[in-house]
Structure 1
Amino acid sequence: MKPLLPIHLLEKYRDGKASEEEIKRVEDWYESHEKEENPLDELDEQQQWDLGKALYQEIQGQIKPASRFSGVRRWVTIAASIVLIILGGIVFWKFRSQDRAVLAYENTMKNIHRVTLEDGSQVWLYPGAKIDLDADFNQQTRSLRLKGVAFFQIKRDEIRPFRIHSKGLLTQVLGTSFLIDASPVHRSVEVSVLTGKVRLQAEQSQTYIVVHPKQKVYYRKGLETKIYRTPEQDASSVWEKGDFVFDNIPLAEIFQALTQRFGVKFQVENEQIYQCRLTAHLTHQNLPDILEMIAKSLSISYEYDQNHVLFKGPGCSP
């Protein structure tokens, strides 16, 4: 397999900001794949149609109108957008099992990614997290299955409660925000509520408990489920929103402020990243949104792992 091009180069090509030399590099890379064996040929016609439809829906709105592009160049722009979607960390696919169709999203990268569902609800998938939902999601029901860690911000719907199945636990809400940790490496499921209230029950049980804001529950099959008060420096605190004003502030100072506010620890792969400065007025933002803004503004990347953030990239000159 040929090496992929840098993400920033594909973004510049897609947005029409690449130099002639960069344009040639991208188009030469695209043409070098023309004679390669097409892995899609192994899929049947229906599977190819489903995959194409899914990718088309993803790239709509992500590529700018390119009336000056035609022929090969326009197709390379679309191909670059598809590669950016894949490299962005959300793998999206649709497949058919014997009894139902399933839509699935999986975060294969090392940072947190947001998915907006058809009902308007938003799900932030932690690294390795995956959700499966029926193809008729947002029609008669709103139900999905979670593997891994995800933060949910559910759009309220009085008629169709939102249901999440995770390792034998059923979480049901009308509209609220909460974190679920259903990591395969953990024996229990952890639910932390930020706003609203959540109803929890074992999938085969008729009894349930109600969890309110600043409360947490650990569920494990066969054991009593208890409600605890969420500690101040809990993993769910990264989702508490706040207001921040940075006026030409070095990242080193910004990291200190974010650590004090959210309880996370920051590291850099390159010491020069500390030299970068940032000007931004952030209103009502949670930590993952702030991290995404920093990364895009400074053309660097980050990795998130259990309340530790590692920034990677070229950094800035003093």
Structure 2
Amino acid sequence: MDSQLFRKYFSGKCNEEECKEVEKYISSHPSIVDQFLEAGWGRSTEEISTEVSTKLKNNLYRSIAQESEVIQQKAINHFSFLKIAAAIALLIAFGAGLFYVYNYRNQVNEQWVRIDNQGSKIKSVSMPDNSIIWLNANSSISYSNLYNTTKRELKLSGEAFFQVTKNHQKPFIVHSGNISTTALGTSFNISAYEKDQIVRVVLVTGKVAVDLKKSFNNEKRVILTPGKMIEFENKNAKWTSSMINTNSVTLWRNNKLVFVNELLPDALRKLARHYHVNIRFNEEELSHLYFDGTFESTEEKERVLKTVLSIYGLTYKTTPNGYEILKNKK
């Protein structure tokens, strides 16, 4: 039989008539086993399809059954039986080998791309699937060069707004700190700076699932609907959800400096990132205080700092490296 037809059969490219022809040949020619062992099938780079693999194994098993009947009627032919069994083992090993090589090749070729926004201006990134990501200041994303081949997955450090292209076969997954957010086609905001006490996810349109890497309150997944925000406290490993005005959360894309019910330490860190200065403070003393407010991103830093601190009667002093927050004066 034509070897080209065999190759088509093993790669699942035969039509119905060709498949029947090959299968008939295999059933009536046990010597095909010798060809398997001698023709160097292991050097093939084409994967045997699941359907063909199953058919071939069934044919080989039938050959064993037929051989067994002959054994009962005639002298035992150990060599023939072993050849067929060896072919089955070879087929199974061949499929496993292809699977290993495919995955190993992907691992070797996989590289991670990192995009940083170290400036004070907003950076927009167009992904290979046409999704768009807006990166806030001092934020970064990382994704594999295999992105959008079998999945859409990336890592976020900082804050970003995502406008995701719909693809139900390839969920869009963002890993940020202790949570991962999964979307199919939607828009949402994530704030997950490394040193902040709280990670926030706000859904603007569509629906997302937020998975928590650490189990708490007997819940590991939260489904968000538009206008809902989930906050994860890194220190206490707990979360809260609430409704929110999504416009206020995403104003930073319009060069606004926005604070939405933020812990004062996180608010001060945001100021430090925005103005590229060092702000020293006692985390424990301020961890119970919250701040809300909106400023122009170009507003003078000391004026903004005074406004934030004045609400709680706090002051600051200038240091060689930036500013130090002082306790309340009694």
TM-score higher than 0.5 here? Answer: no
Higher helix fraction: Structure 1 or Structure 2? 2
TM-score range, shorter chain: 0.3 to 0.5
- Give the TM-score, by structure 1 length: 0.44
- TM-score, with length taken from structure 2: 0.43
